[in-house]
Amino acid sequence: FNPGKDFGPYALPKAAVVALTKQYALDYGSHGIRSNAINADRIRTALFSEDVLKERAQARGLTPDDYFRNNLLQQEVYDTDVAQGFLNLALAEKTTGSIITIDGGNIAASPRYPASRRWLLAITFAAGKELSRLDGGFSPSLKKGGKN
């Protein structure tokens, strides 16, 4: 989910599901109870009226049909794709505390790192350095003596 202006009533329940999923995994995993969730986005449902859909599409300069294909895969995600995700989680017997996002790669709706962590990760990946060199010991792969 991606919080945005006037998005509280929509974002709050999604955030609560994420938190509760992880909390239940912590609380009940030792009893063999798994807790996972699906985060589906831009699925054609009756949740939004045609007017709301047109408004969202127009805000992005898209037609309503293009709105549903506006993701990295450039494919509309269907309710059957979400159902497949639920089935996959049900069959993943060693998985708990996981949230599977089914949205065709809608990166704009992904949770974001705080600016300081984004900068740290960008530097880390761009320079090929270990996180431990930048933030004092985060990476377990740094060899003894501080040398790679």
CB atoms < 10 A from the CB of 14, how many? 19
Bridge partner list, 77: 43
Distance CA 110, CA 101 (A): 9
Residue 74 has which token pair? Answer: 């450039």
Catalytic residue list contains 113: no
The residues, any chain, with a CB within 8 Å of residue 97's CB and separated by 6 or more, are 21, 22, 25, 26, 29, 35, 36
Residues identified as active-site:
10
